[in-house]
Amino acid sequence: MMDLVPVLVDGAVVLNLHNHCSSRSESCEFCSQLVLYTHNWLKTVEMEYVVFDLLDEKSICPTFLDELLQLRKRLKFPFLFSGVMEQSRRHIERFNYQDHYPLFVSPEDAIRALRIQHPGITESSNRSSINFGISVLHSWKSLYEQNKAVTTEAYDLRMSRD
């Protein structure tokens, strides 16, 4: 089961690809859901950029790449890719990604370029809510449950005053 795992590289947050999609079809439901969870996670932890390290995987699920590139259009902040192999590179280039950023060999290269184009962006991210080394899927579910509990508690408190 594919997932993304946040790690700290040179003081910046990088999402490493973990495992791979066994389906690799044009309509992989799990990979679509993973990108949805990633979107929610990025918004919840208030990221202002994202670096994806595809870890030189030869074959990445096309649905995953399609959904990530659609997400890039919606979020309007820097999306950088590193560790991209030939097949995935061709797929990403079909979305004219290279008009915004090149594909990077390593996450360190991507972070360096990000810092040149957007000074201070990697320092402004709220890292306290990020569980490094824990998958985005599990982190988002945990954050969602915590937020749901807080919302329910606040609602119960408000109702008890009325």
Return the pLDDT at 113: 96
Reported pTM: 0.83
Q: Is the pLDDT of residue 157 over 50?
A: no
- 88 or 1, which is more confident? 88
Domain extent for 68: 3-161
The pLDDT score that the predictor gives to residue 16 is: 95
Domain count, the chain: 1
3-class DSSP string for 91-138: HHHCCCHHHCCCCECCHHHHHHHHHHHCCCCCCCCCCCCCCCCCCHHH
| CATH code assigned at 10 | 3.30.750.24
pLDDT band at 84 (very low <50, low <70, confident <90, very high): very high
